[in-house]
Structure 1
């Protein structure tokens, strides 16, 4: 049996766990992603990242927010302390500044994350993550509230549909936070093409299977029931039917009356 999954692909890459689990049960699963992400305000985000002295730390609750950091490092923008705009295509400028000074400065501050997938991406940026075992935003907020409150706001890059649990909990505890929307969900641009391709492939496979079945020679066991019944009763030919009839025992001849009558 075949199964079509309409969902986001696995964040860490590799085989999707749903596809793997269905395969273990003999099901052939195909995954078609239905959502994509559009990144927003990356130059503004870079400006905030380039001024770590104005923040008490970072909060990441999704892998997409970490990806926004990577993309912001590739954007043209103003350098820290030099007041110049790098030329178009100078994508290594921000990365070099990040590696030389910004990364070390941010590492002196707490970097809070939700989940192992997000923590793994944060570590690839050269940052030390904490709180990844919290599992969700509410648990992470509890973790942050249990620490010494920062004097400066925590920088929170997030999506357009962010939950309000974490910001509200921090606000209730008097912990300052500054959020910036860096991505939003949009329909996947290739969903229609992928669906058309999938159904076209299934139709072709179904037509090929029907053609193979139609080209097979007829089996004697596929004859109609009435024909099989007649064949089993009378044989496959008139001679066989005659032979079968002659093999049946005949009725005994009529017996003579008793006692015998006298002849005249």
Structure 2
């Protein structure tokens, strides 16, 4: 079975991506095409806020890119020194919430202890915050992307949990996306399964893929890395044949195997 992964790669070597390696180990003919490009913004404002932990009751990270924004701030020696000597410890005295193991791993790299990684999506993380967190008198700082969904802010507002959002990266289609997709469909043919890793991926790729495979859509199955992405597919009338139980390479492989050959 040919499987096409539409995601942001973990390294420049696409073949070493953990999803590619896991699916390939199960005998799938796997190819990864980068979907998104990111531009980081407001980094000075972000570090100014990180420098004032006393103003907040915690942090929320729902994507690896948000943590990358913090890491970029820490590339400046004076910022890194302040973080290591003082700020990191103060933030670790508060709650740091994350979605997903990949985000949690990056948060650990900057020295923070997080919780909520098993939530799987922002909605479930909001439930976790509301059910386990203390009564928040100060806002939780939420560095996020320009295409963030409003599920988490809305749910926290309903529970009277104050939140302060700051857009720290902007999301756009990868500049080579359409060319890469065209090349794949031309040279390798129609994949049996296309896996989306974000609502943005659905937005930027789905229609173009349907055009490329217009005469063979019956052969094409679509999968989602989680319920949020599956909802984005459903919203445009496409059924997700597989939704990974958790956003991990192992559960994605398990889900695709359960579909079977078309």
**Which of the five TM-score ranges fits, normalised by the shorter chain?**
0.5 to 0.7
TM-score scaled by structure 1?
A: 0.62
For residue 55 of structure 1, what is the aligned residue in structure 2? 56
Matches within 5 A, 1:139-218: 139-146=124-131, 147-191=133-177
TM-score scaled by structure 2?
A: 0.62
CA distance in 2, matches of 1:121, 1:71: 12
The secondary structure found in structure 2 opposite 1:185 is strand
Matches within 5 A, 1:21-32: 21=23, 24-25=26-27, 28-32=29-33
CA 139–33 in structure 1, closer or farther in 2 if over 3 Å, else same? same
The number of residues matched between the two structures is 184
CA 19–191 in structure 1, closer or farther in 2 if over 3 Å, else same? farther
- Check the 8 A contact 2:37/2:175 in 1, yes or no: yes
CA distance in 2, matches of 1:173, 1:197: 48
Q: Which runs of 5+ in 1 are unaligned?
A: 75-90, 203-264
Q: CA offsets, 1:161-214, max 9 Å, x none?
A: 111111111111111110001112112234467568878987xxxxxxxxxxxx
Moved over 6 A (4+): 195-202
- Check the 8 A contact 1:113/1:119 in 2, yes or no: yes
Q: RCO (CA 8 Å, sep 6+): is it higher in 1 or 2?
A: 2
For residue 98 of structure 1, what is the aligned residue in structure 2? 83
CA 28–50 in structure 1, closer or farther in 2 if over 3 Å, else same? same
For residue 218 of structure 1, what is the aligned residue in structure 2? none
Matches within 5 A, 1:1-264: 3=2, 5=4, 7-11=6-10, 14-18=16-20, 20-21=22-23, 24-25=26-27, 28-74=29-75, 91-146=76-131, 147-191=133-177
CA distance in 1, matches of 2:70, 2:161: 23
Per-residue deviation at 1:103?
Answer: 0.4
More strand by share: 2
- Check the 8 A contact 1:5/1:30 in 2, yes or no: yes
- Check the 8 A contact 2:5/2:30 in 1, yes or no: no
CA 133–30 in structure 1, closer or farther in 2 if over 3 Å, else same? closer
Per-residue deviation at 1:16?
Answer: 4.2
The secondary structure found in structure 1 opposite 2:46 is helix
Q: Which runs of 5+ in 2 are unaligned?
A: 189-262
